[in-house]
Structure 1
Amino acid sequence: MTTFVDRQTTLAEQVTLTGIGVHSGKPASITLVPAEACVGIVFTRTDQDSGSEIPAHWSKVTATSLSTVLGDPSADGVATVEHLMAALAGMGVDNVIVEIDGPEMPIMDGSSSVFVEAIEQVGLKQLDRGRRYLKIKKSVRIDNGSAWCELHPYDGTKFDITIDFETPLIGRQRFESDMTPSVFREDLSRARTFGNVKDVEQLWKMGFALGSSLENSVAISDDKVLNPEGTRWPDEFARHKALDAVGDLALAGLPILGLYRSFKGGHKMNHAILVKLFEDTSAFEIVEAPAFRQVGQVDKGGLAAAAAFGPDVS
């Protein structure tokens, strides 16, 4: 049977998920709705009368201190988008409308695993348009004290994330891997957000992290993990930072063909590298996969090959 390769995708059906916002502590519900080719990922608030839409794009980021925020959540914006964005990017979903009933994404278990399960539950649908990529042509770097992050040309998509915390429980950890749906699903999607109990208590006093609990965060106190089940991997902390990086860099608007490296990074630096990248149009180019080459179709050039960088969405 002849099949097409490396086309844009959307979800085969819509799917709804409910939870609570990690900062508001209030119920939150989202519905992921299939979208046409070249729509991208778009958020729309169903609790607002405006019907306005906010694209999941770096230019719409308004805050990065506690999470990645798009627009103004008091109006039509959305907070804490990174874990859903990581799941969509990691699983090769190009086009989706995200309908959300409030200002904050549901935190679920603090990872991307529930979003991945939802995507796999309904499956993906290929669209009649080739997938487009943002190809890094030359290196870009951001420095912030001892922290730094870089984008480099690379034949594929790779993340190399190193963290370095004073607490011996975490210390220096590194996650490095080419990124494919199988790698994201197996090695990153279940890595949870984490924090020190003292920091969370301070956030509570400020009116943040009201929904944070052992159900959705890895809690650290006196160099011990308070969660009865412990960590899901010894290096779950680095894996979660890599998960965040996948989600934040998905705000480039297109899958990145390149290597992203960071040391002591986070949401702020993940966003800063995109700002720096798009300041220099010579540092990247947009390429489109040959959507309608068919596996098994022979022409004058011989057997047509699949695009080298297409996500595995089987």
Structure 2
Amino acid sequence: MSGKQAESRPHRRAAILFTAILWGITLLAATGAVLLFASNVGLTNWEAIRSLLSDGWFRRSVWLSAATATTATGIAILVGLPAAYALSRYGFPGKAVLETLFASVIVLPASTLGLFLMVAFQYPPVLAVQERLGFRVVHSLPAIVLAQLPLAFALGVKAWQATFDAVSPRYEHVARSLGVSAWRAFRTVTLPLARPGIAAGIILAWTRAVAEFGAALLFAGTFRMRAPGQFSSISHLLGLNNADLLSLGMWIEIEGGRTERGVAIGFVLLLLSALSVLALMRVTGENRVEERAHGKWEKSSA
């Protein structure tokens, strides 16, 4: 047995022990959650879940949550990916300020962000622009996307920047030295290497957008009790009228004394979160495999 293998054995045992402890804690927490659910079966009965699934408002709310989160994530991708690449590859004045701003947005309370948006869109000069256009953003459907966007954008940018940091610029330089354009080098070299990390950032951004509550409550409000005439024809066509984000809907149901329906919505959100985490683990697992392969290739070519 070589010296390196002998040295790595204690570290491997420690890693296995830590993983076993982590799984044990997870299983205990899951068992406790199941026991809590079973002891409160009258509070979370299946009849409430069945009635919720057959409710048109709930189906519209699921569609609204998915549509707005996807829109916010799409905007984050279009703007955030180039921004993350620039932050990773280039130095420019104000770079540290931008990185600090993105990190601050991530830890900023969502309700504070909603208050900032309210102030920004309720006073000049933004208010004057809205009045000239004949449209108010506050408490409208676009307000939901604007409430979801900042946190989703900041999370995506930080994840994508870390991904591009992990991809050596040497690959691009080699491609450029062979006469390939900068765009083609990025598209054919950097982008495939960064694909798992980019996908992980997209999952994080979308999941965060779906879970938005505080900013959406303050800036967008609820739409369930609004008159049909307050929604545009596009909203009616897409089925986004008289619906709420699932997180807001859960709060409304519990505040209205319909705790069973609120808990049922909570289980739906929990399921979405679990699926997102599983997808994230799968993507990051593929990324680790690719990193090992690239590391071996670099050692063999050195």
TM-score range, shorter chain: under 0.3
Q: Which has the higher helix share?
A: 2
- Under a length normalisation based on structure 2, what TM-score does the superposition of the two structures give? 0.23
Using the size of structure 1 for normalisation, the TM-score is 0.23
More strand by share: 1
Max Rg structure? 2
